A and B are shown apart, each in its own frame.
Chain A
Amino acid sequence: MSFDIALRRRLGARDIALTFKADDGLTVLFGPSGAGKTSVLNMVAGLLTPDAGHVRVGGATLFDAAARVDVAPERRRIGYVFQDGRLFPHLRVRANLLYGWRLAAEADRWIGLDEVVAFLGLGELLDRWPRSLSGGEAQRVAIGRALLSGARTLLMDEPLASLDASRRGEIIAVIERVRDDLKLPILYVTHDPAEAERLGTQLVAMG
């Protein structure tokens, strides 16, 4: 069991509630905009504290309201690929990629910079600044940065949303390889049925 999640959180006038379990593979969290999908990812990552429920990922309890467990985001080992890439603008691509790698314990580093660069085709980009990257390039760097942080699981929040249609195929192929070659469990948010159909091995509907 990769994800065992039961969450409830009040945000303003909205009530976000979701319970699901999912096996390895790519689990699509599917629903219309505004259903609270991103908030669910933020709660799994530890960036937003649920009011109640639990978050168990890969057998480890990361949050449990009843047992008062709340692991800090920096110790959850969950890679988060944001919709907008969210690269650090004051660091070059190489430093962005290594940001989490440098902070990870030696034993947790299951992939190295050279491997990630080859896997994602980042060789030409290492000395560039984030602002000079195209959307697709930035998204590949963001995926590499998450892998290098020693993550055991990936969260992806509409990683294709800010890309041109022509660039989407490139990132879809990358995500499929992370899913199939690296066998990393992924929790993937989208509102696009075609994307859900193409990438998902399991589907969780929301909203």
Chain B
Amino acid sequence: MLTPEEWAIVALSLRVSGVAMAVTLPVAFGLAYLLSRGRFPGRSLVDAVVHLPLVLPPVVTGWLLLLAFGRNGPVGGWLEAAFGVSVIFRWTGAAIAAGIMALPLMVRAIRLSIDAVDRRLEGAARTLGAGPWRTFATITLPLCLPGVLAGLVLGFARSIGEFGATITFVSNIPGETRTLPIAIYSALQIPGNDDAVWRLAGLSVALSLAALVVSEWLARRGQDDRAGHVL
């Protein structure tokens, strides 16, 4: 089975992706809601920027993160001055990279599920005495929840596999930023290390497959729910 070091790599990867998802999910939901329901100038620009990490070479995304979060960067300089923290070469930086790379996938999945919510049901809730917030919490959110969860699982799988932006942004530091894919890459650099590569790669495949299955299952459940709208 896995060696203690390999378990530590898995634990680090799960921590990086877990934190990335916890922070990215509310952001992704907010953006998805804005893009689904909002009518404001610059909407297509927001849409394009959100999708940028999906089409940019990951190394460019990593470099842009480096510029933004570096000591002299706009975000990094502020973090340093306000809190005395830096995310460069830290696992927190790896989480930021993982979150940014997962964001477009999550926004897409969540937005589709918000688009699919029948807005006339929200009108019905209003006539029954529910204010806008209660309508959101009791009608809109439960109806789009399967899509939100599917987006979360998809984003988690994407962030577990994140490589290019991470290695560019926070490098390859054992125990700090060497996540599963980076560990596989490192193991490949050492001749005669095939066993470790096989084990880590197998683990990667298993994690991704599980995430895809769960995501598909959630998406199907969402469709069943929506079929029930038609009376």
List the interface of chain A (C-beta within 8 A of B): 42, 45-47, 72-76, 78-80, 82, 84-90, 99-100, 103-104, 129-131, 133, 135, 138, 145-146, 149-150, 162
Contacts and interface: CB of A to CB of B under 8 A. Distances in A.
Interface of B is mostly: helix
B128 A99 contact: yes
Contacts of A104: 129
Contacts of B39: none
B121 interface: yes
A113 to B, nearest CB: 14
Contacts of A162: 231
A72 B131 contact: yes
Interface residues on B, range: 20 to 34
A90 B139 CA distance: 8
B126 interface: yes
Contacts of B139: 88
* Residue of B125, B127, B129 ringed by the most chain A CB atoms within 10 A: B127
22 contacts: A42-B123, A45-B123, A46-B126, A47-B126, A79-B127, A82-B124, A84-B230, A84-B231, A86-B120, A86-B121, A88-B121, A88-B124, A88-B125, A89-B229, A90-B143, A99-B130, A99-B138, A131-B227, A131-B231, A133-B231, A135-B231, A162-B231
A84 B120 CA distance: 10
Contacts of B38: none
A74 B231 contact: no
Contacts of A46: 126-127
Contacts of A131: 227-228, 231
Q: 4 tightest CB-CB pairs across the interface, nearest first? A: A100-B128, A131-B228, A89-B228, A103-B129
A129 B127 contact: no
* Residue of B121, B125, B231 ringed by the most chain A CB atoms within 10 A: B231
Contacts of A84: 230-231
Nearest to A48: B123
B134 interface: yes
B216 interface: no
A45 B225 contact: no
A141 B225 CA distance: 19
A116 B179 CA distance: 60
A111 B138 CA distance: 23
B72 to A, nearest CB: 50
A162 B226 CA distance: 19
Nearest to A89: B228
Given A74-B129, A130-B231, A162-B231, A90 B124 contact: no
A93 to B, nearest CB: 12
A145 B130 CA distance: 13
B142 interface: yes
A150 B128 CA distance: 9
A42 B123 CA distance: 9
A146 B126 CA distance: 11
A41 to B, nearest CB: 10
Contacts of B143: 89-90
Given A88-B139, A89-B229, A74 B126 contact: yes
Given A138-B231, A149-B128, 11 more contacts: A45-B123, A46-B127, A47-B127, A74-B127, A79-B128, A80-B124, A90-B142, A129-B228, A131-B227, A133-B231, A145-B128
* Residue of B121, B123, B131, B143 ringed by the most chain A CB atoms within 10 A: B123
B125 A99 contact: yes
A78 to B, nearest CB: 6
A80 B142 contact: no
Nearest to A132: B228
B228 A130 contact: yes
B128 A103 contact: yes
